[in-house]
Amino acid sequence: MKPYIFRMEPHLSEKVWGGRKLVARYGKKASAEVLLGESWEVADLPEGQSVVGNGELAGATLGEVTARWGQALTGTRSVGEAFPLLVKILDAQEDLSIQVHPGPKNSMLLEGARSKDESWLVLDVEPGASVLHGFSVATHAEEFSQAVVEGRVVDFLRRVEVQPGDVIRVTPGTVHAICSGVVLLEVQEPSDTTYRVYDYNRPGLDGLPRALHVEQSLVVIDWETVGPAVLERISEKQLAGGHRLEVLVDAGAYRMERLLLAGGDVSRALTWRVDAGSVQIVFVVSGTCAISGEENDDEEVVLEAGQTAVIPASVGNVRVRGVEGDADLVVSGLGGQLLVDVG
């Protein structure tokens, strides 16, 4: 089968801290009583699978397509049999638990753990919204453990007010939490390993207390001071046609680039070569765009705000254009330059 661009249908997840913004803003389909916390746009995990929404493979899970196409989909730099990235949108109507994720140095010490390095692009905030990211004061395991028992964990953490467009990287070992009033895009290693340090003594959706993982957390927490929470752009480049390209994150396991696409007629479409080393994932922050492979001019995939496409590594050149105006896109993939030979 000839490679083509997939428009993805997400796996949706109700959360005790979730809300209704993913429904209202992005049209995610959830019944009125559901507190929708996460939309897994691109996911190949036992905990959830996104599904192809177009073409010959419509209805197939991402895991099924990955098993069928292998590196023709994921790229020559991908390792293992599963899809190499997880991309999702989160709506925090309430504060998330204070938590931490393992990394390569310590995931092997804990049964079932998988490294989870992630980065956030803030999409929407309520006034004064913030995140917790790392320690505000020097601390150590014994002192922090006592703070957990006494419900004083927040006192040790750095609170950072955020705005739309802010980019935050959460390296493994960084104690963190998304706080109420924040909607964000998350790009990460394909892992759902999360250790809750503290959860405000609240019940879960089943009415029972949610499990904490303090012992595991103490194994993986990085006690050193972390860098700035909000990242500066790595680079910015003005492209022909009025488009602009920003490199947001280059974390080794993944990379995020932001494409501010100037709308207009077809002549202003942007073309780039897909690096055979990496699959590419396109998420639309705002506006509407149409993407096609150069060999499939009649098969444009139209994406509106909040929708996502997967571009196989073997697809060759692709073209994207704004539909009826400008569009704001995030392109993510494995480490290394993504938009190559842009023209």
Separation CA 246–CA 163 (nearest Å):
18
Rounded (5°) CA angle 74-78-80: 100
Out of 158, 169, 196, 255, pick the active-site residue.
196
85 contact partners, CB below 8 Å, separation of at least 6:
42, 187, 188, 189, 190, 254, 279, 281, 332, 333, 334
β-partners of residue 284 are 329
Separation CA 175–CA 145 (nearest Å):
13
Whole-Å CA distances, 75 to 17, 138, 295: 36, 42, 19
Residue 282, both tokens: 């396109």
Cβ(3)–Cβ(22) below 8 Å: no
Residue 140, both tokens: 């150590």
- 3-class secondary structure, 323: coil
Separation CA 341–CA 343 (nearest Å):
6
Rounded (5°) CA angle 305-259-70: 80
Separation CA 148–CA 299 (nearest Å):
54
Residue 127: exposed, middle, or buried by beta-carbon count in 10 A (0-12, 13-18, 19+)?
A: exposed
Active site residue 196: yes
Q: Is the dihedral of CA 37, 39, 43, 46 positive or negative?
A: positive
Whole-Å CA distances, 325 to 114, 164, 260, 322: 41, 20, 11, 6
Residue 217, both tokens: 């957390």
Cβ(315)–Cβ(3) below 8 Å: yes
Residue positions annotated with a catalytic role: 196
